[in-house]
């Protein structure tokens, strides 16, 4: 399959480009598009054949459900039950935006889209290109992140092309995404709201709207005996090809340890990489030292993490050591993704 590539450049031709992409989706094809979090791989959410194609293009297990993207709040009622009005309260506070809600699904949503679950994940993204595309496609677009299964989610159209060229009909290039990590997922289908995946919308922010919000305990603890509640969180995800370890503890001991481990790895003939911050990058000697930004700037860290993991792959780095970050606020999402990328391999010093 030849993948068409369309750049959304703010010109008067954009409507026509998005219209073409919408037609592809309506006809059962696949289009990758930008959202405010990461690029999504879209198909018609109400067409079972489209969902099957999404799984095939990503190489994703078909028990891992997709998020249905809408472009108007009211459209939620077509596909899901807002039993207690909780979704409405959250939507008033955070939609359009980087929050996904899990609700009991309605009949119209095919089991192929929800991985056979009786619930459906719904999100109303704030990115204007995403909104216009969903509208042009008829209102309901199933979209996982547009990476091949097991790779970091793509933050630019070039990274989408790396994984998806020749496997999908079109890539809409709307530039680099803003946030850089996937949406927060909150499950509203049970007794109490529960965060299944942390993101830009933090637990503290959700607690301002809801009475209580629990967090799936598997999020930061790889040794938890529980299974993650979001099927996708159980797979090793976001994985760089090099072997990644997170070093946690007192800042100066973390630096000493990383310096020592890099020297040992280099002596063993390995190509080494370090994930550092602006404050610490100068302290390391490795083949590739990358700063995620200033330690206190969580938005910058979130924005650069997936790009950096992909860059290490491009450079053929064999072993990567990363400093740990604070897991408060948005740091919870950052550490969740970093620990998953490392397969929960943590060195405590
Ligand atoms: O920011 C995002 O959410 C991006 C953009 C494209 O919108 N999408 C995204 O989709 O991250 P994906 O498929 O990569 O991640 C969806 C996650 C998976 O872990 C999946 O298991 C979980 O949501 N999920 C989807 N439907 C669910 C359901 N009904 N119950 C529990 N978890 C669900
Ligand atoms: Mg994903």
Give domain limits for the chain.
4-215, 243-348
Q: What is the arithmetic mean of pLDDT over 246-253?
A: 96
> Of 242, 309, 302, which is closest to residue 272 (Cα–Cα)?
242
β-pairing, 194-197 vs 184-187, is antiparallel
Mean pLDDT, residues 314-339 taken together: 94
Mutate to test the pocket of ligand 1, among 190, 232, 238, 306 (most ligand atoms within 8 A of CB): 232
Cα angle, residue 228 at apex, residues 222 and 231 outer, rounded to 5° = 125
What pLDDT was estimated at residue 298? Answer: 94
Instruction: Tell the CATH topology of 243-348.
Output: Rossmann fold (3.40.50)
- pLDDT of 236 reads 62
Find the range with the poorest average confidence among 24-33, 159-168, 320-329.
320-329
Name the residue with the closest Cα to ligand 1, atom 22.
230
The stretch 45-70 carries a mean pLDDT of 95
Instruction: Decide if pLDDT at 338 tops 90.
Output: yes
Model pLDDT for residues 60-106, shown as the tens digit of each residue:
888 889 999 999 999 999 999 998 899 999 999 999 999 999 999 99
DSSP string, 33-95: E--SSS-EEEEETT-HHHHHHHHHHHT--TTSPPEEE-SSGGGHHHHB--TTSHHHHHHHHH-
What residues pack around ion ligand 2 (CB closer than 5 A)? Answer: 145
Residues 6+ apart with CB under 8 A from 284: 255, 258, 259, 262, 274, 276
Kindly tell me if the per-residue pLDDT of 313 is higher than 80. yes
The total of other beta-carbon atoms located within 10 Å of residue 315's CB is: 13
CA distances from 205 to 94, 211, 329, 330 (A): 9, 11, 9, 10
Mean pLDDT of 306-325: 96
CATH class of segment(s) 4-215: alpha beta
Average pLDDT along the chain: 94
User: Crossing angle, helix 298-315 and helix 157-164, to 10 degrees?
Assistant: 40
Q: Closest ligand 1 atom to the C-alpha of 40? A: 6
More confident residue, 99 or 238: 99
Per-residue pLDDT band at 243 (split at 50, 70, 90): very high
């Amino acid at each position: 399959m030849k993948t068409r590539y369309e750049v959304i450049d703010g010109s008067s031709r954009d409507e026509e480009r998005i219209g073409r992409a919408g037609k592809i989706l309506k006809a059962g094809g696949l289009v990758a598009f930008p959202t405010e979090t990461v690029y999504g791989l879209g198909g018609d959410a109400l067409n079972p054949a489209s969902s099957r194609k999404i799984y095939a293009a990503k190489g994703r297990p078909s028990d891992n459900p997709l998020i249905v993207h809408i472009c108007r709040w009211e459209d939620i009622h077509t596909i899901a039950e807002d039993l207690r009005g909780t979704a409405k309260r959250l939507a008033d506070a955070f939609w359009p935006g980087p929050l996904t809600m899990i609700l009991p699904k309605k009949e119209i949503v095919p089991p192929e889209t929800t991985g056979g679950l009786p619930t459906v994940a719904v999100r109303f993204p704030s990115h204007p290109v995403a909104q216009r595309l969903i509208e042009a496609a008829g209102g309901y677009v199933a979209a996982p992140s547009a990476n091949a299964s097991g790779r970091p989610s793509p933050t630019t159209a070039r990274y989408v092309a790396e994984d998806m060229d020749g496997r999908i009909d079109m890539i809409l290039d709307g530039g680099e995404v803003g946030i850089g990590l996937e949406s927060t997922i909150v499950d509203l289908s049970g007794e109490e709201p529960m965060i299944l995946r942390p993101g830009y919308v933090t637990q503290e922010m959700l607690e301002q709207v809801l009475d209580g919000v629990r967090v799936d305990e598997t999020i930061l603890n790889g040794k938890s005996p529980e299974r993650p509640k979001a099927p996708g969180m159980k797979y090793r995800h976001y994985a760089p090809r090099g072997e990644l370890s997170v070093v946690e503890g007192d800042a100066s001991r973390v630096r000493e340890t990383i310096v020592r481990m890099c020297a040992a790895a280099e002596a063993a003939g390995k190509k080494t990489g370090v994930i550092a911050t602006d404050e610490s990058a100068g302290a390391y000697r490795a083949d590739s030292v990358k700063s995620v930004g200033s330690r206190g700037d969580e938005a910058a860290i979130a924005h650069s993490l997936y790009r950096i993991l992909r860059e290490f792959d491009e450079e053929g780095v064999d072993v990567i050591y990363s400093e740990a970050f604070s897991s408060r606020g948005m740091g919870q999402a950052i550490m969740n993704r970093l620990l998953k990328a490392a397969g929960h391999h943590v060195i405590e010093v």
